[in-house]
Amino acid sequence: MKKSIFILICLSLLQILTVKAQHKNVYWLHGLGDNEEAWKHYADIFALERTINSQRPAYSPSLGVISSTTRVNNEIVVNPQNIGIGHSMGGIVLRNLDRFSAPSARKINGLITVASPNGGAGIANAFDDNSLLRASQQACGDLASAPNLE
């Protein structure tokens, strides 16, 4: 009798743990020049092997980071176990979503970025620190001052 009760308890715990695992969502976001099919292979593997829900929200990178963040935000359900995995711009969109979410309304609680320019793109940084402007002004000044003999 004790053995039967123990087995029932173990099976119940296993069932509870399995249900909790199935409530984990992984949101896979593609990068520039791709679409939601980009992560399909890995999402399918995770869904089968890890017993999680893999989601690949659709967004258009050509609309920019802010519009993409809004679009993705509308597709993510609130769950404290959500994980986001983003490649390139997908990582930037997820980081942006995390950055502008209040701690109490956070939709992504784990974040992995793959080949995402988290420090900013070089050309964009050159606009921010005016180094591109200074270089172009220097080049224009050099061209206007005299012909280049080299």
Taking 80 as the threshold, does the pLDDT of residue 117 lie above it?
Answer: yes
Whose tokens are 């061209």? That residue is: 143
CA distance 53 to 22: 6
**Residue range 22-119 in CATH 3.40.50.1820:** yes
List the strands of the sheet with 25-29, edge to edge. Answer: 53-55, 25-29, 83-87, 111-114
- Point out which residues pair with 54 in neighbouring strands: 26
Q: For the chain, which residues make up each domain, given as ranges? A: 22-119, 121-150
Least confident among 17-26, 66-75, 102-111: 17-26
pLDDT digits (tens, 9 = 90+) for 121-130: 766 666 667 7
pTM (whole model) above 0.85: no
Whose tokens are 């001052």? That residue is: 145
pLDDT digits (tens, 9 = 90+) for 67-99: 999 999 999 988 888 999 999 999 999 999 988
pLDDT at 149: 60
Taking 60 as the threshold, does the pLDDT of residue 24 lie above it?
Answer: yes
What number of H helices and E strands is found in the chain? 6, 4
Residue type, 57: P
